[in-house]
Amino acid sequence: MTTRELLLTTWNWNPFWIAVCVLGLLAYGWIFGWKLQAKSVYFFLGLILLFLSLASPIDFLARGYLFSAHMLQHLLLVLIVPPLLLLGLPDPGNKFRLPEGIAPWVKHPLIGWLSGVGAMWFWHIPAVCDAATSIEAVHTLQTFSLLMMGTLFWRLIVGPRMEERLSPMAGIPYLVSACVACSLLGIWITFTAVSVCPVFMNPMDRMEILPMIRDSWGLTPAADQQIGGLLMWVPACLVYLGAVLVLLVRFYRHPAKTEKKHAS
């Protein structure tokens, strides 16, 4: 199999995820009255990326072949898709309020931070990572939990309810500390001799593409893990950094609002 064939034939047309995406689209249209807004683009982009990360060859390679592909999928699901979906949502006003009992818990910044960082650390405990890669049910659970935890993390920065967003001066340490926590894991994965996800050491070569990956792509298991670690370390941190810059832009654009909120 050539690289080209691989990219064309390994799409995963899992009806479940197609249904999730279509339902998401319908729900979005129905709830917000079938009116397209500029920010809907974010939502669509989020859905497209969600679909790509779960159906494209990224998913195929992430299931046992390449740790770096797994990491790409992981980061898309935590760091890219949730904020895009959130950015696409209009302010729901009084609709969809959380029940009073759990709202303060869900809304606490510490919970948001721990979900965002926990999503990175928990799913890279070697045994957990192995299970999520090789057992379908755990993989699905992982996908959902990543989306959920990512949403909990990002709602404080780009959530649809303005009053629930962190003020820029609180948001910057929130993001920078998350970047540090995530970089530490990335650095560990990059440099450690220990295999973070041992499944990827000797993949079950169901499509007989391993020689191509190892030889023509030049990805040894060690280099593969290194790329995975670097993905989490460098580009992931750039996402947080980008969000910091967005906050700064907001801070300078709406001084009265942001500073007053900070004071209260």
Structural contact between residues 91 and 161, judged by C-beta atoms closer than 8 angstroms: yes
Q: How far is the CB of 245 from other proteins (least distance, A)?
A: 6
Residue 249 lies near other proteins (rule: CB under 8 A) = yes
CB of 161 to other proteins, least distance (A): 22
Binder among 169, 170, 207, 212 for other proteins (CB under 8 A): 169
Which residues does 256 contact at the CB level (< 8 Å), separation at least 6?
none
Q: Which is nearer to other proteins, 96 or 252 (CB)?
A: 252
Q: How far is the CB of 48 from other proteins (least distance, A)?
A: 25
In this structure, the number of other CB atoms found within 10 A of the CB of residue 27 comes to: 10
Q: Which of residues 73-102 bind other proteins (CB under 8 A)?
A: none
DSSP structure class, residue 98: P
Among 149, 179, 185, 239, indicate the residue that binds other proteins (CB under 8 A): 179
Compute φ and ψ for 94, nearest 5 degrees. Answer: -90, -5
User: DSSP of 144-211, one letter per residue?
Assistant: HHHHHHHHHHHHHHH-S-GGGSPPHHHHHHHHHHHHHHHHHHHHHHHH-SS-SSGGGTS---TTS-HH
Number of residues assigned to the chain: 264
Interface map 185-224 toward other proteins (x if CB under 8 A)? --xx-xxxxx----------------------------x-
Q: Which residues bind other proteins (CB under 8 A)?
A: 169, 172, 176, 179-180, 183-184, 187-188, 190-194, 223, 226-227, 230, 233-234, 237-238, 241, 244-245, 248-249, 251-252, 255-256, 259-260, 262-263
